[in-house]
């Protein structure tokens, strides 16, 4: 590990902007990337670290994660967030967005306030908390998934105003908000949230093609776990998926755990021009992520059973994801997606989906949020703001 705040990673390959994987060096100084490219032009006295043919890529950005190791972000508890942040960083995640679920609205506001106060570093060895993804309560009761129907509400102007206030106002901690666009007040909610800098995401929705397209016109810029919790494509009733695929301004979340979406479909999406650069992995990791096989209870009391590292209800339904982003990268690799693109779907693309310009690429001037991986996408090191961490 480097012993100073300045060093050069040499002897490896660098994932450069544009999906180029080239032999080169990365010069890190005071938490930033001073230079990245084929040549090492740092001063002779600067510490050099040979990464021995490994790949230096942008740190991963998980924009949809609920918890892990028995902790859920809904608690808005600093110790819980630290545990979650450490687990994520060990899996290559340098930044994440804490994702809520549908509970009574006053509890939603309490969680948003608490998480807004915790935004930033999560402590030694932990990924950075960027803010909140509000997944619920503005969801369709017909496609609510595990969200409890009694907690779903319409996105009325007063509720939207209360949420923005709890998050610190426009430009505050509310980064993403999932909205079903067919709900009453959806248009005003999407327009208000988008104007406040929130990335509105279409999801948990019964929307028609026209309703999904209208949401994009109002300002929606994301799709929440595409294909899941929305109607499937039918040639006479296309539903929201084709509308979201066709919208060039929309980033497309997918849960690439090999269970939520068939790997063959993920490979096909990654091969489509105009789609591949908007495809982004999310873990959708729940509070039981990282726990051993056996019987457990979710944060809301729901009993689940983990079998082979995957969580199911006792009736056999999928009980959320237990994967990490780097797991998803490996699923894409197995589906034939080239490694540079697979890594970008977990790093560069999620950063762009949030409008982040200070990270998400290996380029001069950006934060030194990096991972060092092998050709099978095993995490060797995670580097957050220039500081190293072994998995």
> What are φ and ψ of residue 379, in 5° steps?
-75, 120
Mean pLDDT, the chain, as a whole number?
95
The reply to whether 360 sits in an annotated binding site is no
* pLDDT score at 391: 62
Q: How many CB atoms lie within 10 A of CB 77?
A: 15
Looking only at the bridges linking them, the beta strands covering 71-72 and 303-307 are unpaired
Is the model's pLDDT at 271 over the cut of 80? yes
318 or 259, higher pLDDT: 259
Residue 367's DSSP bridge partners are: 32
* pLDDT score at 336: 97
Is the model's pLDDT at 309 over the cut of 90? no
Which segment of 43-57, 102-116, 202-216, 294-308 scores lowest on mean pLDDT?
Answer: 294-308
Contacts of 267 (CB under 8 A, 6+ apart): 332, 335, 336, 337
3-state secondary structure of 234: coil
Q: What value does the mean pLDDT take over residues 125-133?
A: 97
Is the model's pLDDT at 2 over the cut of 80? no
Is the model's pLDDT at 317 over the cut of 80? no
The reply to whether 377 sits in an annotated binding site is no
> Which of the four pLDDT bands, split at 50, 70 and 90, describes residue 1?
low
Query: Percent helix, strand, coil in the chain (nearest 5)?
Result: 30, 30, 45
Is the model's pLDDT at 66 over the cut of 90? yes
Q: What value does the mean pLDDT take over residues 57-84?
A: 96
The reply to whether 236 sits in an annotated binding site is yes
The reply to whether 51 sits in an annotated binding site is no
* Distance separating alpha carbons of residues 28 and 391, to the nearest angstrom: 20
Is residue 335 within 8 A of residue 265, CB to CB? The reply is no
> What are φ and ψ of residue 350, in 5° steps?
-60, -40
Q: How many CB atoms lie within 10 A of CB 238?
A: 18
> Which of the four pLDDT bands, split at 50, 70 and 90, describes residue 320?
confident
Residue 204 backbone zone (phi > 0: left; psi -120 to 50: alpha; other: beta): left
* Distance separating alpha carbons of residues 151 and 138, to the nearest angstrom: 9
Angstrom CA distances, 218 to 68, 98, 185, 242, 347, stand at 34, 25, 12, 17, 27
Is residue 363 within 8 A of residue 16, CB to CB? The reply is yes
Is the model's pLDDT at 216 over the cut of 90? yes
Domains located in the chain, CATH noted: 6-57+363-389 (2.30.40.10), 60-353 (3.20.20.140)
- The pTM is what? 0.96
* pLDDT score at 246: 97
> Which of the four pLDDT bands, split at 50, 70 and 90, describes residue 313?
confident
* pLDDT score at 390: 66
The reply to whether 260 sits in an annotated binding site is yes
Is the model's pLDDT at 206 over the cut of 70? yes
The reply to whether 146 sits in an annotated binding site is yes
Q: What value does the mean pLDDT take over residues 354-382?
A: 97
The reply to whether 385 sits in an annotated binding site is no
What tens digit of pLDDT does each residue of 89-103 get? Answer: 999 999 999 999 999
The catalytic residues are 284
The reply to whether 204 sits in an annotated binding site is yes
Q: What value does the mean pLDDT take over residues 261-268?
A: 97
What tens digit of pLDDT does each residue of 140-176 get? Answer: 999 998 888 999 999 999 999 999 999 999 999 999 9
Is residue 191 within 8 A of residue 170, CB to CB? The reply is no
Looking only at the bridges linking them, the beta strands covering 303-307 and 310-313 are antiparallel
The reply to whether 383 sits in an annotated binding site is no
Which segment of 98-112, 130-144, 197-211, 314-328 scores lowest on mean pLDDT?
Answer: 314-328
Taking alpha carbons only, the member of 140, 224, 235 closest to residue 177 is 224
């Amino acid at each position: 590990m480097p012993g100073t705040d300045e060093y050069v990673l040499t002897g490896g390959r660098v994932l450069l902007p544009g999906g180029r994987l080239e032999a080169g060096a990365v010069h890190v100084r005071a938490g930033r990337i001073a230079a990245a490219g084929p040549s090492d032009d740092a001063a002779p006295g600067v510490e050099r670290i040979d990464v021995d043919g490994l790949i230096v890529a942008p740190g991963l950005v998980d924009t949809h994660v609920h918890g892990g190791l028995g902790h859920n972000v809904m608690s808005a508890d600093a110790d819980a967030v630290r545990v979650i942040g450490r687990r994520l960083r060990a899996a290559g995640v340098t930044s994440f967005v804490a994702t809520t679920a549908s509970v009574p609205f006053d509890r939603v506001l309490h969680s948003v306030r608490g998480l807004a106060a915790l935004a930033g570093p999560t402590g030694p060895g932990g990924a950075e908390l960027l803010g909140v993804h509000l997944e619920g309560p503005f969801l369709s009761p017909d496609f609510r998934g595990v969200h409890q129907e009694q907690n779903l509400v319409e996105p009325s102007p007063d509720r939207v105003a209360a949420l923005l206030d709890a998050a610190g106002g426009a430009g505050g901690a509310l980064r993403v908000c999932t909205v079903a666009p067919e709900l009453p007040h959806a248009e005003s909610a999407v327009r208000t949230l988008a104007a406040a800098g929130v990335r509105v995401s279409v999801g948990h929705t019964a929307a028609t093609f026209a309703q999904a397209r209208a949401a994009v016109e109002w300002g929606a810029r994301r799709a929440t776990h595409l294909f899941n919790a929305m109607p499937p494509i039918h040639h006479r009733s296309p539903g929201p998926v084709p509308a979201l695929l066709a919208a060039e301004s929309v980033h497309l979340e997918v849960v690439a755990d090999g269970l939520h979406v068939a790997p063959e479909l993920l490979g096909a999406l990654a091969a489509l021009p105009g789609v591949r650069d908007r495809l982004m992995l999310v873990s959708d990791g729940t509070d039981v992520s990282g726990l051993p096989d056996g019987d457990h209870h979710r944060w809301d009391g729901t009993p689940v059973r983990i079998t082979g590292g995957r969580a199911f209800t006792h009736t056999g339904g999928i009980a959320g994801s237990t994967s990490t982003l780097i797991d998803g990268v490996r699923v894409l690799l197995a589906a034939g997606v080239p490694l540079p693109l697979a890594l970008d779907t977990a790093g560069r693309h999620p950063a762009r989906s949030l409008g982040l310009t200070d990270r998400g690429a290996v380029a001069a001037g950006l934060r030194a949020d990096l991972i060092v991986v092998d050709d099978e996408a095993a995490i060797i090191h995670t580097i957050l703001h220039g500081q190293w961490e072994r998995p």
